[in-house]
Amino acid sequence: MEELLSILRELHPEVDFETCDTLIDDKILDSIDIVTLVAEIGSEFDVEVPAEELTPENFNSAKALWEMVRRLDEG
């Protein structure tokens, strides 16, 4: 989780990712951030994030993102 938070903080240092759960709803993450994030997650955690996982529910909070990474990693 800490690695994921550091990837997120590098994208938007001003955001408190531990508490924010409206990253998409409040337009904090845009489409560029999302694909950058997917690429970084792929490098860091060695998981492939398919296009159908790019949904607001999966990207609205660090927690939801972490759950998606774990689910994809488990297969």
Partner 1 sequence: MSFASTQFLAFFGVLFLLYYTVPRRWQWKLLLAGSLFFYWFAGWWCLIYIGVTTVTTWLAARRIDALAREQDAWFQEHKAELSREERKARKAKDRSIRFRWLLGCLLVNFGILAVVKYTNFVIGNLNAAAAALGGGQPLPTLSLVLPMGISFYTFQAMGYLIDVYWGKSPAEESLGRFALFVTFFPQLIQGPISRFGDLSRTLYSEHPWDSRQIAMGVERVLWGLAKKLIVADRLAIPLRALVADPEQYNGVYVLAVIFLYAVQLYADFTGGIDITIGAAQMLGVQVTENFQRPFFSKNAAEYWRRWHITMGTWFRDYLFYPMSVSKPILKLHQKCRNRFGRFGKRISVHTCSIILWFVTGLWHGASWNFIVWGLLNGLVIIISQELEPLYDKFHARFPRLKGSRGWDAVQVLRTFWLMGAIRVLDVYRDVPLTFRQLGTVFTAFRPQVLWDGSFLELGIGMGDWLVAAAGAGTMLACSLLGRREPVRERLSRHSPHLAWGGCVVLIWLTLIFGVYGIGFDATQFIYNQF
Q: Does the protein bind partner 1 through residue 38 (CB under 8 A)?
A: yes
Decide whether 37 or 62 has the Cβ nearer to partner 1.
37
| Nearest approach, Cβ of residue 19 and partner 1 (Å) | 23
| Nearest approach, Cβ of residue 53 and partner 1 (Å) | 9
CB distance 73 to 1 below 8 Å: no
Give the C-alpha separation, 47 to 8, whole Å.
17
Locate 12 and state its tokens.
């938007």
Angle at 59 between CA 43 and CA 55, to 5 degrees: 105
Name the residues that contact partner 1, by CB under 8 A: 30-32, 34-36, 38-40, 42-43, 48-52, 54, 74-75
